[in-house]
A and B are shown apart, each in its own frame.
Chain A
């Protein structure tokens, strides 16, 4: 019997290894465009080599894939592949990379294959408790490949879900496992980077779906939403068991952005304040008009008690996570280390707006379409939806450039 020389990493194991800063090397055999658009990223730079599998096949020149991998690596890439750490082979689905991992294993490399490939990684959701008590539980549900965060707030057997992502099963499984019923679904804003699971989760559970009415109009098409929603008002209070969440209308990233606060303890900040950055004001195509609104909203948030734990809607890098992998920090802490909030406190209004407009990352073309999907103006198939959502979000300003 042939000895199995390579390991298989599940996406759960991959996340653990990325979070624990395990040193490994990635050999990604997808096409160069696919790699450029979406690849594995760790807390630190992850060394990687991208050689499409059909190039490996041709460069190796053998009839069979594994033989070609062996010949190709020996002839062309031996110097580029490290011997002191695991080489993780990666492709779109985990099938082709399995042959690559086998070839590397036969060459004596410490070799592993990513099971399910980038498709599984892209769809993987990780759930972590922020707090878990009888009176109040909060779970952070993240989609690591995209840097998207959502929340489940539960009390007395009932739950409210904030910003559910497109795949709604993780929320339903969590609710079933923990024994609570999803009673309310809230989107903090009309998302541009990902397709909301809000309307689908609401319809699957019978819970009402809430959105601020300003975000129920596509900002560029200026067309109204065709999906059913309940309008959120500023200061509106949502009750879940013994817990109250108050909506704070904080326009800027979108016109209808709201944050949700639980007393002086938790602030679900939507995209307004993330751990390492703040929201960009340009995704509605009106950056200069929205930037002053964004500033006033951020100042409003900074008046909240400093010990409040900020739970954001996004992260740009796994490195924004704390030692337990949670993306959360107190407002006081962020006031000190978040470059956007520091600029807000240090700069004049004019200076801060210059900072906002001077740190805009590129505007992904698909974001206009994703906003259409989120108000019901477009209904993509599953395949189209996953293409629209490929790669990591760019909802926040670019890093510490100023």
Chain B
């Protein structure tokens, strides 16, 4: 997926709950319509971001990907500010 984005948050090396806590903080600073790309190394972030956007009112999850980066699996989340 070649999704464009407005801001990048590299959360590699951070353990739960920090990828989500900080991604949420950064999403709060986006303008409506802007997109945040989060790169996390925590595999649990996949389900956590899905659960979070279900309850959060101002964001939606455009997509998620798993990639290999520097020899390790990373979990990528595209979050769009919608309100």
Q: Which residues of A contact B (CB under 8 A)?
A: 31, 52-55, 57-59, 63-65, 91-93, 95-96, 99
* Chain B nearest Cβ from A277, distance in angstroms: 34
Given A31-B47, A64-B21, A65-B21, A57 and B16 touching (CB < 8 A)?
Answer: no
Contacts of A54 in B (CB 8 A): 17, 20, 48, 51-52, 55
* Bound-complex Cα distance A54 to B28 (A): 15
Given A54-B48, A57-B24, A65 and B17 touching (CB < 8 A)?
Answer: yes
Are B16's CB and A91's CB within 8 A? yes
Given A54-B52, A57-B52, A96 and B28 touching (CB < 8 A)?
Answer: no
Contacts of B17 in A (CB 8 A): 53-54, 57, 65, 95-96, 99
Contacts of B28 in A (CB 8 A): 63
Who on chain B is nearest to A52 by CB? B51
Given A63-B28, A96-B16, A58 and B56 touching (CB < 8 A)?
Answer: yes
Who on chain A is nearest to B44 by CB? A92
Contacts of A63 in B (CB 8 A): 21, 24-25, 28
Contacts of B52 in A (CB 8 A): 54-55, 57-58
Are A95's CB and B16's CB within 8 A? yes
* Chain A nearest Cβ from B49, distance in angstroms: 8
* Chain B nearest Cβ from A182, distance in angstroms: 35
Number of interface residues of B (CB under 8 A): 15
Among B17, B20, B25, the one with the most A-chain Cβ atoms within 10 Å of its Cβ is: B17
Are A31's CB and B15's CB within 8 A? no
A-B contact pairs, 21 of them (CB 8 A): A31-B48, A52-B48, A52-B51, A53-B16, A53-B48, A54-B55, A55-B51, A57-B21, A57-B24, A57-B52, A58-B55, A58-B56, A59-B55, A63-B21, A63-B28, A91-B16, A92-B16, A92-B44, A93-B15, A96-B16, A99-B17
Task: Pick the residue among A52, A57, A59, A95 that contacts B15 (CB under 8 A).
Answer: A95
Contacts of B48 in A (CB 8 A): 31, 52-54
The 6 closest A-B pairs by CB, nearest first: A54-B52, A96-B17, A58-B55, A95-B15, A63-B25, A96-B16
* Bound-complex Cα distance A31 to B47 (A): 8
Contacts of B44 in A (CB 8 A): 92
* Bound-complex Cα distance A369 to B48 (A): 27
Who on chain B is nearest to A29 by CB? B17
Who on chain A is nearest to B52 by CB? A54
Who on chain B is nearest to A98 by CB? B17
Who on chain A is nearest to B25 by CB? A63
Contacts of A64 in B (CB 8 A): 21
Are A55's CB and B16's CB within 8 A? no
Are B55's CB and A55's CB within 8 A? yes
Are A31's CB and B21's CB within 8 A? no
Are A57's CB and B51's CB within 8 A? no
Who on chain A is nearest to B56 by CB? A58
* Chain B nearest Cβ from A187, distance in angstroms: 32
Who on chain A is nearest to B24 by CB? A57
Question: Interface readout for B43-64 with A: 1 if CB under 8 Å, 0 if not?
Answer: 0100110011001100000000
Who on chain B is nearest to A99 by CB? B17
Contacts of B55 in A (CB 8 A): 54-55, 58-59
Question: Interface readout for B12-40 with A: 1 if CB under 8 Å, 0 if not?
Answer: 00011100110011001000000000000
* Bound-complex Cα distance A91 to B44 (A): 12
* Bound-complex Cα distance A64 to B21 (A): 7
Contacts of B24 in A (CB 8 A): 57-58, 63
Who on chain A is nearest to B17 by CB? A96
Contacts of B25 in A (CB 8 A): 63
Given A54-B52, A63-B21, A63-B28, output 19 extra A-B contacts at Cβ < 8 Å: A31-B48, A52-B51, A53-B17, A54-B48, A54-B55, A55-B51, A55-B55, A57-B17, A57-B20, A57-B24, A57-B52, A58-B52, A58-B55, A58-B56, A63-B24, A91-B16, A92-B44, A93-B16, A95-B17
* Bound-complex Cα distance A93 to B14 (A): 13
Among A55, A58, A95, the one with the most B-chain Cβ atoms within 10 Å of its Cβ is: A58
Contacts of A57 in B (CB 8 A): 17, 20-21, 24, 52
Who on chain A is nearest to B49 by CB? A54
